[in-house]
A and B are shown apart, each in its own frame.
Chain A
Amino acid sequence: MNEIVQGFIEAIELILSLDPDVIEITVRSLYVSLSATFFASLVALPLGAYIYFNEFRGKRAVINLLQTLYALPTVIVGLAVFLMLSRSGPFGFLGMLFTPQGMIVAQTILIIPLITGLTVSALSGIDREMRYTIISLGSSQLQSIITILREARFAILAAVLLGFGRAIAEVGTVMLIGGNIRGFTRVLTTAIALNTSMGNFSFSIALGIILLGVALVVNVVLNLVQER
Chain B
Amino acid sequence: MDFDDTPDEAAFRAEARAFLDANRPRKDRARAAPRYGEVDAAELARAKAWQARKAAAGFAGITWPREWGGRGGSPMQQIIWNQEEAGYDVPYDVFLIGLGMCIPTLMAYAGRPVLERYVRPALRGEEIWCQLFSEPAAGSDVAGLCTRAERNGEDWVVNGQKVWTSGAHFCDFGLLLARSDPAVPKHAGLTAFWIDMKAPGVEVRPIHQMSGGSHFNEVFFTDLRLADRQRLGAPGQGWKVALTTLMNERLAVGEPRRPDIHDLIALARAVAIDGRPAIADPAVRLKIAEWWADSAGLAYTRFRTMTALSRGQTPGPENAIAKVVNAARLQAIAAYGMDLLGQAGAIADPALAPMAGLFQDGLLAAPGQRIAGGTDEILRNIIAERVLGLPAEPRVDKDMPFNRHAPAR
Tell whether A and B belong to one assembly.
Answer: no
Q: Which residues on B are within 8 Å of A, measured CB to CB?
A: none
